[in-house]
């Protein structure tokens, strides 16, 4: 196997999903900025690459997966369903709860801690954008991916793609992922890495914990789309268009 430091962050998480835990700890973005090698990513963030590599080696030796799923070998229709049931439903569940909590702490403590007002605004924006984004995935992109899988499995002419379609919606989805990642990063910075002040009330602490967990989930969610589902779907469409399976 190649030295871990020469492998991209996205590929490391794809090979061994437990690597996500290490990257989260060091705030190494493996989803939207996942195409950098471990070495380059560590250098650009001023991290000790030996230290991070050592931690990763432990994960690779133990074969740790973050939820025990083999995403690499999962069929694309199953992967799309997994993303919807695991990640989209989580976003839908948390959006109203976190809108209420971020707004509540901004109203109560915004005068003393003005960053809370900005965090509530950014969260509101992120929640709206993600809701719209998931709607497009669930109603346009994912059904199309499932249709490609069905075409591949059944070789049914009716289901076969006639012309390239998938690259441009995927490009839009990736741009929206970048935007979501940026908003989340801004929230993280404004919240001092989700660290509440010592006098923070329970709602304040709860709100920051929810934001921290949400960011972790978002990174895993975007990783599965950007680094697995999307490139594999583009490849499948290309192969079907070239009649590879005929
Ligand atoms: Fe998604
Ligand atoms: Fe997405």
Residue pointed to by tokens 């268009």: 241
Question: Domain range spanning residue 85?
Answer: 72-241
Cα torsion angle, 206, 210, 213, 219, sign: negative
The CA-to-CA distance between both ends of the chain, in Å, stands at 35
* For range 36-53, the mean pLDDT: 94
Question: 23: closest CA among 11, 9, 33, 35?
Answer: 9
Tokens at 177, concatenated: 């992922």
pLDDT digits (tens, 9 = 90+) for 102-142: 999 999 999 999 999 999 999 999 999 999 999 999 999 99
Tell me which residues have their CB within 5 A of the ion that is ligand 1.
137
Considering the domain architecture, whether residues 58 and 90 belong to the same structural domain is answered as no
pTM here? 0.82
Distance 83 CA to ligand 2 centre (A): 9
The closest ligand to the CA of 178 turns out to be 2
Phi, psi of 75 (to 5 degrees): -65, 155
Residue 17 has pLDDT above 90, yes or no: no
* Burial bucket for residue 44 (CB in 10 Å: 0-12, 13-18, 19+): exposed
* Burial bucket for residue 242 (CB in 10 Å: 0-12, 13-18, 19+): exposed
Distance 137 CA to ligand 2 centre (A): 7
* For range 32-58, the mean pLDDT: 91
The CATH number for 18's domain is: 1.10.3910.10
Give a yes or no: residue 246 inside a domain.
no
Give a yes or no: residue 29 inside a domain.
yes
pLDDT digits (tens, 9 = 90+) for 213-234: 999 999 999 999 999 999 999 9
pLDDT value at residue 133 = 98
The closest ligand to the CA of 174 turns out to be 2
Considering the domain architecture, whether residues 101 and 141 belong to the same structural domain is answered as yes
The closest ligand to the CA of 86 turns out to be 1
Mean pLDDT (the chain, rounded): 92
The closest ligand to the CA of 181 turns out to be 2
Considering the domain architecture, whether residues 172 and 100 belong to the same structural domain is answered as yes
Give a yes or no: residue 67 inside a domain.
no
């Amino acid at each position: 196997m190649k030295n871990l430091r020469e492998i991209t962050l996205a590929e490391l998480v794809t090979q061994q999903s437990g690597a996500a835990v290490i990257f989260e700890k060091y705030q190494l973005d493996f989803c939207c900025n996942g195409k950098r090698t471990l070495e380059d990513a560590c250098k650009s963030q001023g991290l000790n690459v030996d230290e991070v590599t050592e931690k990763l080696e432990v994960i690779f030796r133990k074969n740790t997966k973050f939820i025990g799923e083999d995403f690499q070998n999962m069929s694309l229709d199953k992967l799309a369903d997994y993303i919807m049931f695991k990640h989209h439903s989580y976003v839908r569940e948390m959006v109203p709860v976190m809108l209420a909590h971020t707004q509540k702490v901004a109203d109560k403590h915004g005068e003393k801690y003005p960053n809370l007002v900005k965090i509530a605004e950014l969260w509101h924006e992120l929640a709206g954008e993600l809701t719209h984004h998931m709607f497009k995935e669930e109603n346009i992109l994912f059904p199309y991916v499932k249709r490609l899988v069905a075409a591949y499995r059944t070789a049914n002419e009716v289901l076969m793609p006639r012309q390239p379609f998938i690259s441009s919606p995927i490009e839009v989805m990736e741009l929206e992922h970048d935007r979501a990642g940026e908003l989340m990063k801004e929230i993280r910075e404004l919240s001092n890495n989700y660290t509440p002040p010592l006098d923070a009330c329970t709602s304040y602490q709860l709100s920051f914990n929810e934001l921290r967990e949400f960011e972790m989930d978002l990174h895993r969610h975007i990783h599965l789309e950007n680094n697995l589902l999307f490139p594999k779907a583009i490849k499948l469409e290309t192969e079907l268009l070239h009649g590879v399976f005929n």
